[in-house]
Chains A and B, each alone.
Chain A
Amino acid sequence: MKHIFKKAFYKRLGVIGTLALIVTGILISLNLFFALTAVEYRQDIKSTATISTIGIEVFWDITCTDLVTHIDWGVLYPSDIATETVFIRNSAGRAITGSMWTSNWIPVIAMDYMELTWDFGDAPLFPMRVRETKFMLSISADVENVTDFSFDITVLGTETIYFGYWEEGGLVP
């Protein structure tokens, strides 16, 4: 009788132990999964744009902690439009307007098939204000002989003196 009881006890203990092992295994797997997926993975791609700024700051985040120095456009195909969202801050003492241009295309022929635009707009950016802005890189459908490419983007903030106030749609005198 005692022997049967002991056997049953060990069987039950074995089942409980197995369940505990499975649950612990699942927990540790989840912990490892979240820990590993939290690490950012970036592909090593050569289609990049280096950003330089004059009188203005460009960041990846709205709180302006992560400065944008270059943009990886990833792998692009003919007719693609690649978009990157950045945040532009005016740290100057006056309102500014923004302008942007590209230069140093490598290879030079790449600039014939690609166009960079942004949606910063004409409205002045006031001091210590941050504007969410999209850069859009359009690739021509008939692009050829361009595999890897790179170029520079210059973002210029120009101090603006204006009279009146700005509303959606334009300046109100």
Chain B
Amino acid sequence: MIDIMELVLYEIVLILMLVAIFIIVLIWILLREIILVPTISVDTDRDQYFRGETVGISGNLAINGTPRPNETVALAIQPPSGDAYSLPNVTTDSNGAFSSSWNVPSDAIGGSYVLTATALGISGTKTFTRRRK
């Protein structure tokens, strides 16, 4: 008799747990749909540049993994010291991709430069180097 009761109890607990897991997974899926998580990536065509060379800039913007077209992306480059360079804004294409370029000025100091791209309130960075000749 006790064994049967125990088995019934296990059956009930098991069903309840399965229902709970189903509800939790459902909430998880709904939350992922409701909460929009934008991601941005930015890259340069090389890691090192000399003065006068052109830095090729590219990147991607997505929300929950889906490419985000027609969004404005702001770009800036912070040298090792001194004032940052503000680049013209660019717009993402149908694949959520964006591109730009920047000519390393003739008076650019040597060291690490940080490229920052911002869109939809989030930022991505890429570090590159201005090599000394």
Contact = CB atoms under 8 A, between A and B. Distances in A.
Interface of A: 3, 6-7, 10-11, 13-14, 17-18, 20-21, 24-25, 27-28, 31-32, 35, 61-65, 87, 89, 125-126, 128-132, 165
B24 A63 contact: no
B124 to A, nearest CB: 10
B18 A63 contact: no
A132 B10 contact: no
Given A24-B24, A61-B123, A130-B83, A17 B74 contact: no
Contact of B74 (A21, A65, A125, A165): A65
A7 B123 contact: no
Contact of A14 (B13, B27, B75, B84): B13
A7 B118 CA distance: 59
B35 interface: yes
B17 A21 contact: yes
A65 B118 contact: yes
B25 A17 contact: no
Interface residues of B, number: 32
B89 to A, nearest CB: 9
Interface of B: 3, 6-7, 10-11, 13-14, 17-18, 20-21, 24-25, 27-28, 31, 35, 74-76, 78, 83-87, 107, 116-118, 121, 123
Contacts of A131: 83-84
Nearest to A40: B121
B27 A28 contact: yes
5 contacts: A13-B10, A14-B10, A21-B20, A62-B78, A87-B84
B14 A10 contact: yes
Contacts of B27: 28
Contact of B86 (A11, A24, A31, A128): A128
B25 A132 contact: no
A38 B3 CA distance: 50
B21 A21 contact: yes
Contacts of A6: 7
A62 B28 contact: no
Contacts of B3: 3, 7
A31 B28 contact: yes
Q: Which of A7, A65, A87 has the most CB of B within 10 A?
A: A65
Contacts of B84: 62, 87, 129-132
